[in-house]
Structure 1
Amino acid sequence: MKNMNRITVLSWNFERNGGDDAAKRRRVHEMLRRELNPHLLFRQEMWGADANGSAILYELEAILGLRGWLGPKSCTAVFADPTLFQPVRQWPLTGTMRIQPPTGLTMRYLPAGRDAMPLAIVSFHLNYASAMGRLTEAEWLTTWADKQWKTPSGEFVRLPCLAGGDTNSYPTPSGVPGDPALPVLGQIRDWPHRLHRSYMGPQGVRLMDTRPDEALRAAGMEDVARYWATTGRNQDAEARKGAVARTVNACATHGPDARIDRCYATSDLLAAVIGVDVVEVPVPVSDHHIVRVVLDGDILADILNQRPAVLELVAAS
């Protein structure tokens, strides 16, 4: 039975959704349920899940014991425990200027009560090949940190937001022990990949791409792993290092270990975070590891019942 006071959130780019190997797909999702038991799951590379009337999506729902929502083009999905999370709306127009559109929903956390604020939930996968494209997509991603909600008293408030996905780029160097260093461009052997993971800086020198992270954090969406590793609430040094562990392994073409898969939350949700780590997945299974964030459900309920600053808006967006 799931501990209702601890909410396990996972974000995972499962390579090509297992490809054409249905047995592998079933096996890894059975592992997710058996060993990690998520309440909220952000999935990327959901290729083929919309075929045959979304048969694969519904298969995964049954395996996970969660309800699923599939984004445009089967790029991303959100799965949620229906006893804890109830959709208020799904945002269908998430594909503007995106190669791999996110899945975005507004959801109630049911234990918080009917009058509590809902929160924005987003699974995303930023552009693989274009640093300029990723920056644009990250800027659009911040619009979920700007969703408004009309309270029962008629006031408009800004919703908290929790997002997870594959950034295909790097976090700004944190100085936290264990956080992988930025790759050195010249040491990446694959020339196209050098282009894909860098951008032309103001001095005419190519720089490794940290701009999506910078954009999200500028909009008040914090890298949850970085937050957990630096707040001081987690005193164990190994646990701090585990929060910022690699999410992809070093390889000859792509360079060294990197933390390209990340979860972001608006600052109002950070008090509910009680753990972050990376669950390593064997390379034959997938080329990405799993980011795990654990929330305190009671604190989350308190946050959603607090009265935030009222926005002076004519209508909700």
Structure 2
Amino acid sequence: MNVAIDRYSERVVTVVIANLEHDGGADEDGESPQRWRDFHALIRGYHPDVLLRQEMTYSRAEGHRRLHAAERLLGMRGFLGAQGSGRNGTGLFVRPEVFDVQQQFEHTRHWRTPPTNIVASLREVPDVPIVMTSWHLAFNSPRGRERETDEILALADKINKGWAFIGGGDCNEYPHPAGESVLPIDWTSDTVTDRLHVAHRTNLGPDGSRVSCTYADRTLLAAGLHDPARYAAHGLLAQQDALLPTAGHVKPSQGGERRIDRLYVDPWLVNAVIAVHVIDTAGLSDHHAVAFVFSRAAMAEGLRRRMTALAPYDLSA
């Protein structure tokens, strides 16, 4: 089923976040493994116009052979981020009939896994650049994720020049609990046995307790960016399933299921969101994918800033 055609009565733009665990695995008999092929067939059914990929582990090898295979399967143009100290790089795909690509930038400093960052424009609004970025924040370091989040703010700063912003990926830490449907992790629970993971994902509180890391979410929301999943759940759409967990379903020793794969957009574009779908990838990856569906007409109006910017999200609510 082509969700973009079959489900909506208007033209839409679909942005998908998809972390395919270790890029589906190593080649089998000189070909991409079946898990990689099945995953891309699943994603293709949602007809993404922007695909933010994480763990492009094997996509740089052999002259980017697997990257170009994904381009053919998806009908999209693909980009890879710079190589960092982590081996599971990031990628980004765009549909050329929908977006014109103007620039690509590499970021190598301050990132364990550098993001993929391009500047593109919606074909109907060629004079408004859109900063697009796919990230995978450091799995192992609260301080590293804080530094990387500050670099995301540098990319988002173009909003002040009239540009738009679409960015997201595997944040490797938790959303602020305000408005969330999943309760925060109890780090004292006997079921949380992965002590390394506790060190990766928490800070030490004033009383000596472990406190879940939420810096990325708190900082990006405080800067005026918006999480379309929250918008879909708490706005007029009232779509509570937009807040379903995306990872942790195969790792109960780490505290269980959590919503760590998230998108952030500028306060004009968020008004164009009409649906959010968490895509079940059980058996294919340890992360579920997420599809964010925008009205194409409303996206164009948001890019032109002909609609009111949404006020910053109130974390005290």
The TM tier, using the shorter chain, reads 0.7 to 0.9
Query: What's the offset of the Cα at 1:127?
Result: 0.4
Alignment-mate amino acid for residue 139 of structure 1: D
CA distance in 2, matches of 1:65, 1:191: 43
- In structure 1, runs of 5+ residues without a counterpart are 149-155, 309-317
| 1:147-296 alignment runs, 5 A limit | 147=158, 157-176=161-180, 179-187=181-189, 188-231=192-235, 233-235=236-238, 240-250=239-249, 251-282=251-282, 284-296=283-295
Q: Counterpart of 1:44?
A: 54
| 1:34-73 alignment runs, 5 A limit | 35-73=45-83
Q: Counterpart of 1:106?
A: 119
Alignment check: 8 A CA contact 1:107 1:119 kept: yes
Alignment check: 8 A CA contact 1:245 1:259 kept: yes
Q: Which digits, 9 at most, give the CA deviation of each residue in 1:174-210, with x for residues without a partner?
A: 234xx21111112221111111110123444321111
CA distance in 2, matches of 1:108, 1:297: 13
CA distance in 1, matches of 2:17, 2:148: 18
TM-score by length of 1: 0.86
TM-score by length of 2: 0.86
Alignment-mate amino acid for residue 58 of structure 2: G
Q: Which digits, 9 at most, give the CA deviation of each residue in 1:35-86, with x for residues without a partner?
A: 2111111000001211111111101100111110111126111111100111
Alignment check: 8 A CA contact 1:244 1:277 kept: no
Q: CA-atom RMSD, angstroms?
A: 2.0
CA distance in 2, matches of 1:208, 1:275: 28
Alignment check: 8 A CA contact 2:100 2:120 kept: yes
Alignment check: 8 A CA contact 2:246 2:258 kept: yes
Q: Which runs of 4+ in 1 moved over 4 A?
A: 1-4
- In structure 2, runs of 5+ residues without a counterpart are 308-317
Alignment-mate amino acid for residue 100 of structure 2: Q
Q: Counterpart of 1:129?
A: 140
CA distance in 1, matches of 2:228, 2:39: 25
